[in-house]
Amino acid sequence: MSASQNIDLARHPLTHWAGPLGLPEFDKIEDSNFGPVFDAALAAHAAEVEAIAANPEQATVANTLEALELAGQPLDRVSSIFWCRAGAHTNDAIQAMEREISPKMARHFSAISMNDKLFARINDLYLRRDALGLDPETLRVLEKTWKGFVRSGARLDPEGKKRLATINEELASLGARFGQNVLADEKEWVLFLDEGDLAGLPEFVRGAMAQAAETRGQKGKYAVTLSRSIYEPFTTFSERRDLREKAFKAFAGRGETGGETDNAGVVRETLSLRAEKARLLGYGSYAALKLDDTMAKTPKAVMELLEPVWNKAREKAAADEADLQRLAASAGSNDKLAAWDWRFYQEKLRAEKYAFDEAELKPYLQLEKIIDACFDVATRLFGITFKEVSGIPAWHPDARVFEVFNADGSKRGLFLADYFARQSKRSGAWMSALQSGYKLGEGSTPVIYNIMNFAKPKAGEPALLSLDEAKTLFHEFGHALHGMLTDVTWPSVAGTSVSRDFVELPSQLYEHWLTVPAVLEKHALHYKTGKPMPKELLDKMLAAKTFGAGFATVEFTSSALVDMAYHARPDAPAEPAAFEAETLEKLGMPEAIVMRHRTPHFLHVFSGEGYSAGYYSYMWSEVLDADAFAAFEETGDAFNAEMAEKLRKHIYAAGGSADPEELYKAFRGKMPSPEAMMEKRGLV
């Protein structure tokens, strides 16, 4: 008898959440618990699905669609805790389990998608859908479910089903390996420096580096790590060109080290399997498969957005590069501008043009105050409030718990946040859910979390953010609001369960409120004096809002174009590294700028299938968010109550309950054009 057969899923702390506020009892969970509980939960879910498929009665919404949506709660629960741990606080045991569970989960869900009896019931409902008198949300869920089965191989012959299931398993394993390799490279590389190596570094960078060194057992030293919260300010301010070059090459070379953590083979296999998967399902390319259920619909539509932006960005970057080369020459450098010089001289150019630098802003951007600003904006727009609850154990001592309340004082859900970088956490920033909010069955309240990677300050000192980091905080909180404000019936369309190129709208739109003067005046307070940011500095910051647009847009758009180039072809390139180089050469990539995410560490695209053939979606959503914020600006009030209610109802609360184009038009009355986005970026 396997250990999983002895597990009582109704009582186990991984599947029965009896902690404070309905959270899991994290302090009762051992790493060794995950394997047996996963096995038991997978078996329980498979049995539930088989019972639905074998039901002798004619398919109804209740006995088939609803039953399927509500099946597998124990699996949902153990999965949500496990994937949180795998990203935010991993270790050797969790990573070993990730390598085991990823293909196992893929196999499990392939079996469900390819269950002939189950699909026959879904298909029966789908064919009778017009006669069932369904409300619009239920009709959409039925249509999405049917299409999901078809796109997962339900109509393939037995041989095709078998091959697709194998491909899905292999892709899941490769995605887990890719992410673990990048994390290993980030964790292993560190550059320890002495006081004499710190020329040009502001105090906030020195403090973060000192803390990073101390956590690595090198008290009294200063550590450059590959966390963006240290790497980017170091390469922005360090006067030591040799050290900037070392840090840059390590950062750009993650996943390309030639050793056990090298991702070249992982990428090659991944692209080959994705191309085969698309052919098997009858699509001309993997991009065509992925885009079939998005706003963009086709690779051609994506390129029609990206190409004009790329051309404008290159022009802007070329003009900036001439200025940067001038500054380098005036500083006595005869070297051609290199990628490790760009941020350094760009900061000097900002000071020249706008008479301020990023270091001036930092003292006014305290993490705690920016968190308050996030909450304050949510209260002013949507009426919800937040209350921190201390003493509740989570996946790591740094993780914090907040109760979320509606305007009438009723409970809306929970928000958890884990803000600081550590070696057990993968890089980047993201939002996810321990539990989604929906009304079906007994209903469920949302439990949403944000993960960041800010540099942790010394004890007793405040964490200070760059403007980009403050925007990241607002961005991820925008995603969190999408999860917390959800107001739908069906779990599969709750919160962020929307098309990939719509999911970034609520997050990118929320960023706009950070730089609303009234928000900065209230929350951008100096960490020592408590005084608000001086109007002169605020004006300079707002005037410089689009500074560096060429660099930032080239970094991003090149990544989106390479992602699309990989996936819009019918086959896979034999050598992805060579293909990346050829693609960038054809695009005319500036020599002194690199992709924001080079292929060997492009987690969005290769650590799972989430943003594969979908990295463009940030820009697609940006077209929408520029237009959406303009709706508030046109009223003269960034907190206009009528617009805020439309925004809540049609964007943040609606989830995937209707077609995204319909939802956007319900909010704005029309679809936007890309011009507003290019203007917002400072490209026109």
Q: Using an 8 Å Cβ cutoff, are 511 and 478 in contact?
A: yes
> For 457-486, b where at least 16 C-beta lie within 10 A, e where not — what string?
beeeeebbbbbebbbbbbbbbbbbbbbbbb
Does position 213 have pLDDT exceeding 70, yes or no? yes
pLDDT at 675: 87
Per residue in 529-571, pLDDT (tens digit) is 999 999 999 999 999 989 999 999 999 999 999 999 999 999 9
Does position 440 have pLDDT exceeding 50, yes or no? yes
- Which two structure tokens, joined as six digits, stand for 16? 């029965």
Q: What are phi and psi of 556, to 5 degrees?
A: -70, -50
Q: How far apart are the first and last CA of the chain?
A: 68
Assign residue 259 a region: left if phi > 0, alpha if psi is -120 to 50, beta otherwise? Answer: beta
Q: Using an 8 Å Cβ cutoff, are 681 and 307 in contact?
A: no
What is this structure's pTM? 0.94
pLDDT at 3: 53
- Which two structure tokens, joined as six digits, stand for 409? 């004082």
- Which two structure tokens, joined as six digits, stand for 564? 């699309």
Indicate the pLDDT class of residue 676, thresholds 50, 70 and 90: confident
Does position 1 have pLDDT exceeding 60, yes or no? no
The H-or-E segment that residue 355 falls in is: none
- For the residues 483-511, what does the mean pLDDT come to? 97
Per residue in 364-397, pLDDT (tens digit) is 999 999 999 999 999 999 999 999 999 999 999 9
For residue 431, list its beta bridge partners: 450
| AA letter at 615 | Y
Catalytic residue among 48, 321, 476, 609: 476
pLDDT at 667: 98
Could you give the CA distance from residue 626 to residue 680 in angstroms, rounded to a whole number?
Answer: 7
> For 114-129, b where at least 16 C-beta lie within 10 A, e where not — what string?
bbeebbebbbebbeeb
- For the residues 138-149, what does the mean pLDDT come to? 97
For residue 432, list its beta bridge partners: 449
Q: Is 476 a catalytic residue?
A: yes
Per residue in 152-195, pLDDT (tens digit) is 999 999 999 999 999 999 999 999 999 999 999 999 999 999 99
The H-or-E segment that residue 241 falls in is: helix 241-252
Could you give the CA distance from residue 353 to residue 360 in angstroms, rounded to a whole number?
Answer: 15
SS3 category, 560: helix
Q: Which residue is associated with the tokens 């020249």?
A: 352
Could you give the CA distance from residue 543 to residue 270 in angstroms, rounded to a whole number?
Answer: 44
pLDDT at 358: 82
pLDDT at 461: 92
Does position 88 have pLDDT exceeding 50, yes or no? yes
Q: Using an 8 Å Cβ cutoff, are 240 and 197 in contact?
A: yes
Please, which contacts does 459-462 make with residues 24 or more away whose CB atoms are closer than 8 Å?
Answer: 461/207, 462/366, 462/367, 462/368, 462/527
CA neighbours closer than 13 Å in the CB half-sphere of residue 6: 5
Could you give the CA distance from residue 645 to residue 148 in angstroms, rounded to a whole number?
Answer: 32
Could you give the CA distance from residue 305 to residue 427 in angstroms, rounded to a whole number?
Answer: 28
- Expressed in percent and rounded to 5, the helix, strand and coil fractions of the chain are 60, 5, 35
- Which two structure tokens, joined as six digits, stand for 532? 């608000």
Q: Please state, for a pLDDT cut of 70, what percent of the chain lies above it.
A: 99
pLDDT at 2: 45
- For the residues 88-108, what does the mean pLDDT come to? 96
Alpha carbon distances (Å) from 155 to 281, 362, 572: 9, 56, 25
**Burial of residue 199 (number of CB atoms within 10 Å: 0-12, 13-18, 19+):** exposed
Does position 4 have pLDDT exceeding 70, yes or no? no
Mapping DSSP onto H, E and C, the string for 15-46 reads: CCCCCHHHCCCHHHCCHHHHHHHHHHHHHHHH
Could you give the CA distance from residue 624 to residue 37 in angstroms, rounded to a whole number?
Answer: 42
Could you give the CA distance from residue 477 to residue 471 in angstroms, rounded to a whole number?
Answer: 10
Return mean pLDDT, the chain. Answer: 96
pLDDT at 680: 87
Does position 628 have pLDDT exceeding 90, yes or no? yes
Closest CA to 46 of 77, 16, 63, 71: 71
Per residue in 348-368, pLDDT (tens digit) is 999 999 998 888 999 999 999
